[in-house]
A = this chain, B = another copy of it.
Amino acid sequence: MNADTGVRPCSIARSMEVLGQRWSLLVLRELLFENHRFDAIVKATGAPRDILATRLRTLEANGLVERRRYQDRPPRFAYHLTARGWDTAEVLLSLMAFGDRHLSDERPVTWQHGQPDHPHPLDPVLTCRTCGEPATEGLHEPTGPGAPR
Interface string of A1-33 (1 = CB under 8 A from B): 010011111111111111111100110010001
CA distance A16 to B47 in the complex (A): 14
Interface string of A41-55 (1 = CB under 8 A from B): 001111000000000
Q: Point out residues on A near B: beta carbons under 8 Å.
A: 2, 5-22, 25-26, 29, 33-35, 43-46, 84, 86-104, 106-116, 119-133, 135-136, 138-148
Choose one: B44, B122, B131; the contact of A120 (CB below 8 Å). B131
Nearest 7 CB-CB pairings of A with B = A11-B99, A108-B146, A7-B46, A15-B99, A14-B103, A123-B129, A9-B108
Copies in the complex: 2
CA distance A29 to B110 in the complex (A): 28
CA distance A145 to B46 in the complex (A): 16
**Chain B neighbourhood of A16, CB < 8 A:** 22, 25-26, 95
Q: Please state if A43 and B120 are interface contacts (CB–CB under 8 Å).
A: no
CA distance A66 to B87 in the complex (A): 33
**Chain B neighbourhood of A86, CB < 8 A:** 136
- Chain B residue at minimal CB-CB distance from A44: B8
- Chain B residue at minimal CB-CB distance from A46: B7
**Chain B neighbourhood of A148, CB < 8 A:** 33-35, 44
